[in-house]
Amino acid sequence: MARKGYRKPKAVIGDPTDPDGFSVWLHRFLESLRVRNYSAATVVTREQQLRLFFVWCDARGVVGPREVTKPILERYQRHVYHLRQSSGRNRGKPLGFQAQMNRLVPLRVFFRWLTRENVLLWNPASELMLPKVRRQLPKYVLTAEEAETVLAVPDVSEPLGVRDRAMLEVLYSTGIRRMELLNLTIYDMREDRGTLMVRRGKGGKDRVVPISERAMQWVRRYLNEVRDGLLVPPASEQLFLSHHGESPVPRYLTALVRGYVKESGVPKRGSCHLFRHTAATLMLENGADIRSIQELLGHASLEATQIYTHVSIARLKAVHEATHPASRDLLRPVAKAQVTETAGTESELQEALADELAVELGGA
């Protein structure tokens, strides 16, 4: 078993002194990304995916970008398609099309950069056909009651339990991503304004999001009772610390949250992103407009946020029950009385609900 903190050394790609080899051009490409202010996470990901391709090429006698042709890229694409996952619960299963896309997109970016730098006269990846990736709806979304059940699992009589409850509350209240939570500092929460500053979000963008009073109370308790006991010199500004006094690694946080979800007995699986899906869906069902959800989640485009209009079915179900002939006559008296309060006649009710549905699903 590898010792903690051990990292497998990077594979050597061909001759690192060859001016036309992959190693030299990989180094220059990554440097160009840093110069253009790409995030460190993007640089690391691009390097990892490109190295996989370069190692594959090296094993087949292709030692530099000038030797790469369109047929070679298509052959690599078929290789990626037939790959099988080597670990986890999906071991032995083929890579998903999103994972395949993640391996191929950096190749297009790399060879486009080489062409712009006049290293190559033409771009062999310009006509590479990428796999079609269908947008999937979140598989699991918690109800409000299920979310409260998960939040109640940490043992708050223990210091780490208080820390864990505070992290879960922040995830649920703000819908921020895993890395955004880990990047929080002690200065990012503004109690006087009820907001949280999310720094270095996806794409390196900052944003301000609201945070609930309850979440702030748990963070305040964590700061007052727990955090100083976790600090290890030199002092860190990170908000949430591990028992080693450092910022928890992403995999640790994923396993921690997944464990609490499993321990809660809720018949759903997930980790940090489960709370992100839950926050967006529940807010939408309770009347939030789609653009407010987009701003909260930090989505660059509205398209990514619109998946929650399909997950949140409460309004569509109400419209269906009020307007569909097969459901309309089966409305419970209480429900019928409630909707009649907002529209006097049945025709007015149908018209009002139809207009709302059109705005929610079509006009957003």
Query: What is the phi/psi pair of residue 166, to 5°?
Result: -65, -40
Say if residue 218 is exposed, middle or buried (CB neighbours under 10 Å; 0-12, 13-18, 19+): buried
Sign of CA dihedral 216, 219, 223, 226: positive
Give residue for tokens 């989505």: 299
Sign of CA dihedral 130, 38, 306, 184: positive
- Distance in angstroms (rounded) separating the CA atoms of residues 126 and 74: 12
**CB atoms inside a 10 Å sphere around CB 235:** 10
Phi-psi region of 246 (alpha: psi -120 to 50; beta: other; left: phi over 0): beta
The residues assigned a catalytic role are 177, 202, 273, 276, 299, 308
